[in-house]
Amino acid sequence: MKGTEQFAPGQSPLPLYVQIRDNLRRRILEGSYAIHERLPSENEMMHAFGVSRITIRQALRDLHNEGLVFSAQGKGTYVSKPKAVQNVQRLQGFGEAMAAQGYEATGRLLGIRQGKPSKPVIAALGLPLHEDVVEVKRVRYLNREPVCLESSYFPLDIGQRLFSRDLSGDIFPMLENFFGIPLGSAEIGLEAVLADDETQDLLGLKAGEAILRVERLTHDRNGRPIDFEYLCYRGDSFKYQFRVERK
């Protein structure tokens, strides 16, 4: 079975099911198991790893909970399409959030330009009606699969400095580490909309498919709006995760 040649249970203090889970997770994220490929059966994994059925099921349960695999009754366990999970308890860029989950997150710049924005962008950033902004448009990839079309808008004093930068990764760390702008908070809105032709083409969607459109307005620590974004995610590849409390 793929990956068992690197499995040495006696060399780790971790429980066996954790070692097997981590082994399978690594193989899935590395692409050794392709999307929708069937994993070995429980019997095959029991023999390959030399463990009990309950240990295999514990490992698979964790992979299910992470969204890395799914089961078809009577047919087995299959690799899921990678799904980005963004926890909105923290203000993070796409790459920051995905790297923490072990995914490869990359980006492709479609264009950067200075120009007149729409009224919603002007209103969100609190700018005069005649003011230009800088728009950055990118496609974001999760494990090399396109999952998000981003359109980000910045006030001129920030946006003009982006023209000379590599914009294939997250912009948030750039704002903090290179521009000296401490980030504070963000307002987030979510809605399901039909994908337009451009979004369908760039994200590989079929006509009439819905997307999750996120509007995110980010403020610096002093409360100034500095970044307004439309983030258009494939509905089958992204999930926002919330935690709320009743007080």
pLDDT digits (tens, 9 = 90+) for 42-55: 999 999 999 999 99
Rounded distance between C-alpha atoms, residue 29 and residue 47, angstroms: 23
Tally the domains of the chain.
Answer: 2
Asked which of 17, 50, 79 is the last residue of a domain, the reply is: 79
The position carrying tokens 């790297």 is 99
pLDDT, tens digit (0-9, with 9 covering 90-100), for 158-215:
999 999 999 999 999 999 999 999 999 999 999 999 999 999 999 999 888 999 999 9
CATH number at residue 14: 1.10.10.10
Report yes or no on 237 lying in a domain.
yes
Report yes or no on 247 lying in a domain.
no
CATH number at residue 167: 3.40.1410.10
Kindly state whether residues 98 and 118 are assigned to the same domain. Answer: yes
Asked which of 45, 64, 79 is the last residue of a domain, the reply is: 79
* Residue type for position 125: L
| pLDDT given for residue 181 in this prediction | 97
Mutual orientation of helices 53-65 and 42-49 as an angle, nearest 10°? 110
| pLDDT given for residue 144 in this prediction | 82
Rounded distance between C-alpha atoms, residue 63 and residue 47, angstroms: 20
| pLDDT given for residue 166 in this prediction | 96
CA 81 from centroid of its chain's CA atoms:
12
Rounded distance between C-alpha atoms, residue 232 and residue 151, angstroms: 9
Rounded distance between C-alpha atoms, residue 59 and residue 65, angstroms: 10
In whole angstroms, how large is the CA radius of gyration of the chain?
A: 21
| pLDDT given for residue 203 in this prediction | 95
Asked which of 59, 79, 99 is the last residue of a domain, the reply is: 79
What are the two backbone dihedrals, phi and then psi, of residue 105, each rounded to the nearest 5 degrees?
-115, 125
Rounded distance between C-alpha atoms, residue 80 and residue 72, angstroms: 12
Contacts 24+ apart (CB under 8 A), 202-206: 202/110, 202/139, 202/146, 202/149, 203/139, 203/146, 203/147, 203/148, 203/149, 203/232, 203/234, 204/146, 205/234
Specify whether the CB–CB gap between 231 and 216 falls below 8 A. Answer: yes
| pLDDT given for residue 6 in this prediction | 63
Kindly state whether residues 23 and 92 are assigned to the same domain. Answer: no
With a cut of 50, list the residues of the chain below it in pLDDT.
none
Rounded distance between C-alpha atoms, residue 215 and residue 122, angstroms: 14
Domain that holds residue 221: 84-241
Kindly state whether residues 120 and 231 are assigned to the same domain. Answer: yes
Report yes or no on 96 lying in a domain.
yes
Does an H or E element contain 199, and which? helix 197-203
Report yes or no on 246 lying in a domain.
no
The position carrying tokens 């203000």 is 91
